[in-house]
Structure 1
């Protein structure tokens, strides 16, 4: 270990007291704590007390940086120097229906950029990228470092599980946080995510930080705080980093469930798919390619012209999968129609991320839900509803396009759900830690010289006053709908560059 400190150098109780009393820990103290805990010299009870102190009192920027570096030093670091091309990665904090990695990785890789996407399993109410891809027959998530490097060299992209050698201290600490009520500590979230991403060795990183009822961070201010902390860590480590705040108050796309989301991702790669999934994919691709030195890349042409689809097929084949194989589809559905006419203006994402009783997403990858009634459209008792599929699965072709079937397929939730975007104009401001021709510097807020805009092809169409078709037994409500947009408009910086 490059940053290890003798076990007897400090006392765990003194370190805990310092943070409990809102003191600032030194680099040596943090190095010792992480090293000693990883090697078993600090008890779980003591580390749990430390995590709770961090949750309650927070950490300074230097402390978060030192904690992240100590976690990185607990394991190996990957290097991509021999690839001969720039590397860029994306990380999402997760949400309901978030399948953006699937179309995004091949889209960016089709421009000659290496995309080493180390992904994980489902957590809580959010689906895991690896779980989704394992619905493709033959596809495998576990690759050796040599296999990953060869695939990046020949195909340009890879989606696989992170090796056990990357930041093992974080793996141990995360398991402890999960059972001690300290998962929500922003310094620990930031160091957990960024320790693995920095150890991965990528040149640049785009962060999709989600907020809302379907995300782990419900409050936008806490999401903004997390985004700032992670961009700071990327900056300090020399990794060009951008963070976008995106809305997860409504599910992303029209499909939820492993095979369903793969199918929808293929629709996007074929030039179709739901508008919100397409727009967010394009926006993140522009960010990634800008950090990789291609700010003028025509991502829409690559998506619509089939270049990204070709890369997708190559990635799936390289990892043992068959891109033309049939995907699982539920054989049984239970359809419930809206009980009255109205206009859909609100939906809550969280219930859609929870599996129906008795249905396991991994055991039955074709299960979960599908909907095709856009928010803001009229619902009638004969058209819009939902269906919860059974656990038995059949197979269907993976390349079918999304269509407006008129049914809403989902698990039991309190509001009818549909896509959160109707191709309305959106704009986004993002934090940047540097550009390909400018070394990263301290984060001072928004970079007013590099605005990012995403404009849709058609204007918004939404009613001024709409009624929500209520769940049976609930009182009808009337509200003014918000502008449907999946990306948050951030405030303009002042003359000094501060947000």
Structure 2
């Protein structure tokens, strides 16, 4: 059935709901180029302003899944389970989590992306490891899942191509913030990935995409609802991103911190969130009698990490890149150290750890390294963080980003609670 793009746009513009047939047609027509970018941007804006109901969102998600192929890895001898984070500052959780869950008996097909702006990208972090490659064929992904139990790699071009095209359009038309479009974007790729269970880490706070707890809960509930509608067991945790996660924000810096965690150490907040997400993933996978906290603390997940990195051409024992220029920032007064996640993320981005455009290169060694934890007491003149970069001229911009973002409170200010809520089907 053929529709008019203008009729579909005006239906949503006027607050109506789109029929299944309209949704199927407009997504397919846009993917093949029969609906122009300016028409789809108008529809995206109408969706942003007027929303979608639950059946519309489920159908929109299905239409994007149907634009490509659905992966199937066959019988791996392990249950498949995955995790997705909405992104933040210092969010390196995928790196220790995938090998940990694999060490506990599940298979983790983690198809990941690159960073844009102040939020880091998992692939950028792993590409700091000499030799590691992000692009794998479907046969390589399946073989690695069978042999290692975990793979972190770039998404395949055939997976929800409608989403890839629409995501780029939303990025330049001010329509990124639409919860129906965010939720369907994330879930279409995860459902097409063929996983058997999915745990979502929905961030909220200054360094997150969802700045308020209410918006984060709404996004979490929408995505869990999509999962249920498509037969995918889905759970969401809503977690804090008002301060950076861990002490490192930057590619090689975050890899080094992840290795610490996998060896049984690392920052307490990174360990806490890794274990919390692992428990949810194992529950969805039906794996009982294994305590991921014990497995992580014992270092038993580290050999899985080594095998995962080596399987993708990386050398897990190689030295990580180090920035050529490091500057220290000190506390301007005594009190409680409260670093703002967004300020730290923008500083790391300006130092070269992130990119403004998708085609930009990143510096593997660039970033921000906290020397004290959020909530710690500091004294005037004490070093509180380091700025790492290969381009010293970028330091002034990083310091400007931190201006007002490194609060020293006169009153004791504990680190915000990390786990804020959970949403289940």
Structure 1 partner of 2:343: 351
Aligned residue in 2 for 1:246: 239
- Alpha-carbon distance in 2 for matches of 1:235, 1:356: 37
Q: CA deviation at 1:358?
A: 6.0
What's the offset of the Cα at 1:339? 2.1
Match in the other structure for 2:420: 488
Which residue number corresponds to residue 28 of structure 1?
21
Within 5 A, what are the aligned runs for 1:19-58? 19-58=12-51
Match of 2:125 among 103, 107, 132: 132
1:414 aligns with 2:398: no
Separation (CA, whole Å) in 1 of partners of 2:300 and 2:182 = 36
Task: With a CA cutoff of 8 Å and minimum separation of 6, indicate the structure with the bigger relative contact order.
Answer: 2
Deviation of 1:290 after TM superposition, in Å, equals: 0.6
CA contact (8 A) 1:356 1:388 kept: no
Instruction: Kindly state the Cα deviation for residue 111 of structure 1 after the two structures are TM-superposed.
Output: 1.8
**Contact kept? 1:286, 1:299, Cα under 8 Å:** yes
Distance 1:157 1:353 in 2: 28
In terms of fraction of residues, the more helix-rich structure is: 2
Note the 1:137-216 alignment, pairs <5 A: 137-216=130-209
Aligned to 1:82: 75
Q: 3-state SS of the aligned residue for 1:246?
A: strand
The Cα offsets for residues 324-367 of structure 1, whole Å up to 9 and x where unpaired, read as 000011232122321222222x3311111123646355542111
Contact 1:286 1:297 in 2 (8 A): no
The 1-side partners of 2:175 and 2:270 are apart by 32
**Partners of 2:143 and 2:226 in 1: how far apart?**
29
Deviates more, 1:334-343 or 1:108-117: 334-343
> Does 253-262 or 286-295 show the bigger shift?
286-295
Structure 2: which 5+ runs fail to align? Answer: 355-360, 393-397
* Coordinate RMSD, CA, aligned: 2.0
Does the 8 Å CA contact 1:107/1:308 hold for their aligned counterparts? Answer: yes
Call closer, same or farther: CA 1:479–1:291 in 2, change over 3 Å.
same
CA distance in 1, matches of 2:418, 2:148: 31
Query: Relative to structure 1, is the Cα distance of residues 256 and 56 closer, same or farther in structure 2, using a 3 angstrom cutoff?
Result: same
TM-score w.r.t. the length of structure 2 is 0.93
Q: TM-score, normalised by structure 1?
A: 0.79
Work out whether residues 80 and 202 of structure 1, in 8 Å CA contact, stay in contact via their aligned partners in 2: no
Aligned length: 412
Partner of 2:388: helix, strand, or coil?
Answer: coil
Give the greater-gyration-radius structure (CA): 1
1:16 is matched with which residue?
9
Kindly state the Cα deviation for residue 169 of structure 1 after the two structures are TM-superposed. Answer: 0.5
Structure 1: gaps of 5 or more residues = 1-5, 394-409, 418-467, 470-476, 492-496
Q: Distance in 1 between matches of 2:17 and 2:211?
A: 28
Distance in 2, Cα, partners of 1:357 & 1:19 = 39
* Aligned-partner Cα distance in 1 for 2:279–2:376: 30
Matches of 2:162 and 2:375 in 1, distance apart?
A: 47
State how far apart, in whole Å, the 1-side matches of 2:205 and 2:312 are: 34
1:363 to 1:47, Cα distance in 2 relative to 1, 3 A: closer
